[in-house]
Amino acid sequence: MTSDYALQVPDELETALQLKTVQYLVAQRPWLDLYGVNVRPVAPYGSVVRMVNVDPALIHRCLPDELLFEVFSRMAPYDLGRAACVCRKWRYTLRNPVFWRNACLKAWQLSGMVENYKILQSKYESSWRKMWLLRPRIRTDGLYVSRNTYIRAGVREWAVTNPVHLVCYYRYMRFFPSGRFLYKTSGQAVKDVVKCMNFRASKTDVFIGRHTLTDDEVEAAFMYPGLRPTMWRACLRLRGTTLGANNRMDILSLSTSKVNSDGVIEPEEDILGRVEWQEDDISRVSHNRGLAPFTFVPFEEVETSVLNLPVEKMDYYVPG
183-217 confidence digits (pLDDT tens): 988 888 888 888 888 887 766 688 888 998 888 89
Residue 266 is predicted with a pLDDT of 47
Rounded to 10 degrees, what is the CA torsion of 18, 20, 24, 26?
60
Query: Which pTM does this prediction carry?
Result: 0.72
Out of 73-77, 158-162, 174-178, 279-283, least confident range: 279-283
Beta-bridge partners for 250? 237
Q: Select from 222, 169, 233, 173 the least CA-distant residue to 197.
A: 173
- Could you report the per-residue pLDDT of 246-270, keeping only the tens digit for each? 889 999 988 888 776 554 444 444 5
- Could you report the per-residue pLDDT of 1-12, keeping only the tens digit for each? 445 444 555 565
Give the Cα separation of 4 and 71 in Å (integer).
71
- 193-212 burial, b at 16+ Cβ within 10 Å, e below that, comes to bbebbeeeeeeeebbbbbbe
Residue 223 is predicted with a pLDDT of 85
Residue 173 is predicted with a pLDDT of 92
Q: What is the band of 296 on the pLDDT scale with cuts at 50, 70, 90?
A: very high
**CA 113 → CA 5, 110, 194, distances in Å?**
84, 9, 32
